Structure 1
């Protein structure tokens, strides 16, 4: 276990630090109060992990632990049963990100689960995109969408979702900007999803699959070979193999590191053990993400606070992480330029007590 670093002196507010948020799941973005209200409105009973024992105690290190995580996620997802529910999730995700200094959000969604309640996968993604445009205008945080297939389903379904994503591909808020692959990375063969990613790439969508959290650096290598990622969801375990980490750096793959998720799922014992500094020192571009705040009990600003308190990072290092999030985002060039200027202004401004 690594030795916890010395806590740095108080610095600028991490909430005021302009940043992009590149790893946030649709259902997992929900406030716990929202899932409770949705369950009540639909006459559904929630597990105690969402009522009296929140946030839940989780582990993903074995099949049993992952099953509990997935069961809780499915319970929350089952509460989303209408267009109004879907719009509320998008709007609240934008509001919460705006409150934490996120100026660009890429919300990841698999429309399959919500399709039965709104007339199919096409209406489902159109609802999300329409509300993303409205929420962007209302909050000032621009919301784009990543369509994600699931490893738990047949690769043919991934191709269907890739074609759907391609039809809505665009640039800027309220468009689909990337194609992902989520869920338990120990399931399915990564190579079998490559045709779906080729469909997405032909439409100009970025490749943003999950890899390198529950499985090690060898799976990062496999994902790099078969899915040609622009970013990796997590990818944190590339630190375990210098050759793989060099490849991540050389191929300019952004790593969406989610420290709270890593610890909650048992990948690392403590927040100070997440190899964030090792990745940065190797030259990797890192974007911090909250992953599933509903399940892990922490949001985006908490990840920056952890970098400061658990990793001993000063304001310059936090600004580097914010720049990594912007540079690794799929935001239009003009938006990136403006956000990077705002990050520089944050760092050049007077220090204040952290938030």
Structure 2
């Protein structure tokens, strides 16, 4: 990278290289409603007579404050989008389109996160809601080029007993391949509820062989991550990015093999960091953390998965070898079957072995 001007932090931008779109990878942090195409949202809103807030009709990346007021606005927008998903056909469409969009960006394994409670009222209960998503995941896996598994997520703003019910439901459909439930999560505002109160639900999920995948360490800092580690014993952390503020905590995560689902566009939209360049991606990787980049809710936050990898190159100076290492981390941290992991890791090696593609390789 000689000859390229250094940034203020001493790093140099990586030169244009191989395509981040063709880089094989796994996508481990994508929410069901948040995966929706903007055009699909507008079509469903018109079909069901839902009046959307102007921010959703503008199709621009939202910019929020990192406080409860900002989260309230985010939740209001998310709920408005979710209110447009009214039928089994709508739900199936979201899964198929999410998988197709991921496949077009090089994602070969997708773990799509869904709270079936949110859609149960329209399809006859949480069990039919989950089965609709699982059936669509199997279809998408067969036709799109991206294999799709499901993470069932409870919400921090609901009672912990609701989380136990969801954990039992997730356990009934536990598996390791496409169209199965591979993990159990906990989402929504980290500042709400007591993390320890959700421990019984995560224990139910772990006994069924499901990965423990709670959100932590985006809106709140290292203390909340520590609480999550002790109470929920995560395999991965949804976000976890603020663990970089505490070297001792970060070292603990690395030693425990807890992967971080880092979603840079989400961090910026929610006001956690002022720009993609300020996300401490290089610090996390330098400390040895296993990082899986994710898009979180591209309907609201804008960039999809490949753009997160482009940011690693353009904003943090990652070269092709470093991007390949990120992709390997996403695959290794996934709940894909071992044979699938071996195949995808070999595809990453093949990508890296190709000649560089120059400026067109973005």
Category of TM-score, reference length = shorter chain: over 0.9
Is it true that 1:293 corresponds to 2:298 in the alignment?
yes
Aligned residues: 354
The structural deviation recorded for 1:58 is: 2.5
Which secondary structure state, in structure 2, belongs to the residue aligned with residue 197 of structure 1? helix
Q: Does 1:354 align with 2:361?
A: yes
Deviations 1:87-110 (A, max 9, x none): 000000000000000000000000
1:1-355 to structure 2, matched below 5 A, reads 3=9, 5-51=11-57, 53-352=58-357, 353-355=360-362
Unaligned runs of 5+ in 2: 1-6
Residue 296 and residue 63 in structure 1: after superposition, are their counterparts in 2 closer, same or farther (change >3 A)?
same
Contact 2:237 2:258 survives alignment (8 Å): yes
CA contact (8 A) 2:186 2:213 kept: yes
Following superposition, the deviation at residue 56 of structure 1 comes to 4.3
For 2:67 and 2:168, how far apart are their aligned partners in 1?
Answer: 33
Equivalent residue of 1:28, what SS? helix
Q: CA-to-partner distance for each residue in 1:31-89, whole Å, 9 max, x for gaps?
A: 011110000000111111111x3224332411111110000000000000000000000
Q: Could you tell me how far apart the structure 2 residues matched to 1:2 and 1:328 are? A: 32
Secondary structure of the 2:182 match is strand
Any unmatched runs of 5+ in structure 1? none
User: SS of the counterpart of 1:208?
Assistant: strand
Partners of 1:235 and 1:257 within 8 A in 2: yes
- What SS is found at the alignment partner of 2:197? helix
CA–CA separation in structure 2 for the residues paired with 1:135 and 1:315: 29
CA contact (8 A) 1:4 1:272 kept: no
Deviation at 1:349, TM superposition (A): 1.1
Once the 2 structures are TM-superposed, how far is the Cα of residue 3 of structure 1 from its aligned partner? 3.7
Find the aligned partners of 2:244 and 2:29 in 1 and give their Cα distance. Answer: 19
In the superposition, the TM-score normalised over structure 1's length comes to 0.98
Does the 8 Å contact 2:61/2:269 carry over to 1?
A: no
Q: Is the 8 A contact 1:5 1:310 kept in 2?
A: no
